Amino acid sequence: MGAGKPLVIVGASYAGVQLAASARELGFEERIVLIGDETHAPYQRPPLSKGLLTGKTTVDKLALRGPDFFAQNNIELLLGRRATTLDAVAQTLSLDDGGALGYGWLALMTGARCRPFTLPGAELDGVLNLRTLDDALRIEAAAAALMATGQRACVIGGGFIGLEVAAALRSRGIEVTVIEAQPHLLTRSFPPAMSAYVENAHRRRGIELLTGHAVRALHGEHGRVAAVALEGGRRIDCGLVVLGIGVLPNTELAQQAGIAVENGIVVDMLGRTSAPQVLAAGDVANMALPTASGASNGPARMRLESIQAANDGARAVASLLVGREQPCTAVPWFWSDQFELKFQMAGLPAHDDEVVLRGDMATDRFSVFYLRHGTLVAAHTVNKPAEHMQSRKLIGAHVQLTAAELADESFDLKRVPLPVAAT
Ligand SMILES: Cc1cc2nc3c(=O)[nH]c(=O)nc-3n(C[C@H](O)[C@H](O)[C@H](O)COP(=O)(O)OP(=O)(O)OC[C@H]3O[C@@H](n4cnc5c(N)ncnc54)[C@H](O)[C@@H]3O)c2cc1C
């Protein structure tokens, strides 16, 4: 091991664990201390709203790394410990147990937390968030109770996590109402035809979907949620409310240390913050995007909430630590499982891109492509994993394609020539 000051990582989830792993793989020899305030060993979050709630997976299958991984790689894992204060000038970090650590490098991989729900009734029992394993176990227990009583569940917020929870509960026979304030679902991610497809998919599978409806309050009986009251007077009786209203980045340490924060910690493509020796990646980071891509008239930076962004951002940070800088230029991608539908999203579409449908939405197997000045910049697929994988390569290679080619299912996407580096 080196004799310098350690790499201290705050946040023991995707970005933090990937950084520790990649740093070791690349030969980083200093001490690595990985601090996480959750008490569970680092675990996978996507199955919390998918496999765990449907019963397709169990808690013992969620570990992010094998039990020996941290010891074998000489990574000191401090769980159940919270970093409370950062002094970026003295390069020290204080912990909630009274201890303090000096660092050579500090990585803020603090992720995000659920946006607070502030309407009357938010404090009632049976009003639950979903971010952590403990949250998922609470929803799981509440769902089991609903199955016994036949009561309804309400999901507030029709984003990906809300829809996954709704689908999981419905697939267990529970009556579910999804309440979304916007007139349509997922309008920030999807064009109108895709939003309409998702809405139909949920309604056809028995979800009551109320779009364009705002919640006024939650009502309880004996301290437990009993109904959701909507603006306009409608009341929906229920025994469980799951909140899917988005997340806020955990930027407090950075803010308090005077580090630039704007919808997340502002970082470049190597994860460098405005403070020397302080780095960030994952859900907490608002990362610069490559400008020399097909997305060149898109935003200059973005805070992405995905496993891919956390892992690729962490890899870029690790490359910086060992002096072999590899900026994060990966094509963003994301997935969501709802009922038997696998949605896979690659690239960053903009509202004025040309939208091309390939396949028939009625079959639940199709792709939607996005062209910007003839360049493929994004693809959304449903139950088409091979087209998703190929699209990622094509988007990364900035290939030029026509709408007619993309719409033609006999046009083989695998035969589109790629520059050697992108194959
Ligand atoms: C239910 C669910 C389903 C999802 N499904 C998908 C999916 O299908 N595909 C996909 O790509 N993404 C999915 N995501 C998003 C994905 O999980 C996140 O993008 C990813 O977890 C981000 O990783 P991260 O390491 O940046 O942050 P996080 O996973 O949020 O981890 C940050 C960690 O830091 C800890 N922490 C924060 N502050 C401190 C502190 N001061 N001291 C110590 N520890 C601290 C937090 O408690 C947390 O454990 C899902 C998320 C959820 C909740």
Is 11 close to ligand 1, i.e. is its CB under 6 Å away? yes
Q: Which residue has the higher pLDDT, 209 or 67?
A: 209
Identify the band that residue 421 occupies on the pLDDT scale cut at 50, 70 and 90: low
Q: Is the pLDDT of residue 224 over 70?
A: yes
Q: Is the pLDDT of residue 291 over 70?
A: no
pLDDT at 422: 54
Is 131 close to ligand 1, i.e. is its CB under 6 Å away? yes
Q: By alpha-carbon position, which residue is closest to atom 26 of ligand 1?
A: 282
The ligand 1 atom nearest the CA atom of 82: 42
The pLDDT of 183-212, averaged and rounded, is 95
The pTM is what?
0.96
| φ, ψ at 388 (rounded to 5°) | -65, -50
Q: Is the pLDDT of residue 326 over 70?
A: yes
Q: Do domains 7-113+248-321 and 340-422 have the same CATH topology?
A: no
Query: What's the CA gap between 198 and 211, in Å, rounded?
Result: 12
What token pair was written down for 253? Answer: 């340490």
The pLDDT of 191-214, averaged and rounded, is 96
Delimit the domains of the chain by residue range: 7-113+248-321, 127-245, 340-422
pLDDT at 292: 43
Task: Tell which residue, 168, 171, 192, 177, has the closest CA to residue 361.
Answer: 192
Least confident of 79-88, 140-149, 162-171, 287-296: 287-296
Identify the band that residue 72 occupies on the pLDDT scale cut at 50, 70 and 90: very high
Average confidence score pLDDT of the chain: 95
Percent above pLDDT 70 for the chain:
96
Identify the band that residue 37 occupies on the pLDDT scale cut at 50, 70 and 90: very high
Is 332 close to ligand 1, i.e. is its CB under 6 Å away? no
Q: Is the pLDDT of residue 47 over 70?
A: yes
Cα–Cα distance list, 210 to 82, 180, 204, 207, 348 (Å) = 39, 6, 14, 9, 27
Q: Which fold has domain 127-245?
A: FAD/NAD(P)-binding domain (3.50.50)
pLDDT at 300: 85
Q: Where are the beta strands (DSSP E) in 117-262?
A: 127-128, 153-156, 176-180, 208-211, 215-221, 224-230, 235-237, 240-243, 247-249
The pLDDT of 190-211, averaged and rounded, is 96
Which residues are 266's β-sheet partners?
A: 286
- Contact by Cβ (8 Å): 30, 9: no
CATH architecture of 340-422: 2-Layer Sandwich (3.30)
Q: Is the pLDDT of residue 319 over 80?
A: yes
Residues in the chain: 423
Which tens digits make up the pLDDT trace of 2-17?
Answer: 557 899 999 999 999 9
The pLDDT of 164-173, averaged and rounded, is 97
Which tens digits make up the pLDDT trace of 245-284?
Answer: 999 999 999 999 999 999 999 999 999 999 999 999 999 9
Q: Which residue has the higher pLDDT, 294 or 221?
A: 221
Q: What are the helix and strand counts (H, E) for the chain? A: 11, 26
The pLDDT of 306-320, averaged and rounded, is 98
pLDDT at 3: 57
Q: Is the pLDDT of residue 293 over 50?
A: no
Question: From the CA of 404, how far away is ligand 1's center (Å)?
Answer: 40
The ligand 1 atom nearest the CA atom of 336: 8
Percent above pLDDT 90 for the chain:
92
Q: Which fold has domain 7-113+248-321?
A: FAD/NAD(P)-binding domain (3.50.50)
Mutation probe of ligand 1 site: the residue of 57, 65, 110, 284 with most atoms within 8 A of C-beta? 110
pLDDT at 420: 66
Q: Which residue has the higher pLDDT, 422 or 121?
A: 121
pLDDT at 297: 57
Which tens digits make up the pLDDT trace of 80-100?
Answer: 999 999 999 999 999 999 999
Question: From the CA of 364, how far away is ligand 1's center (Å)?
Answer: 30
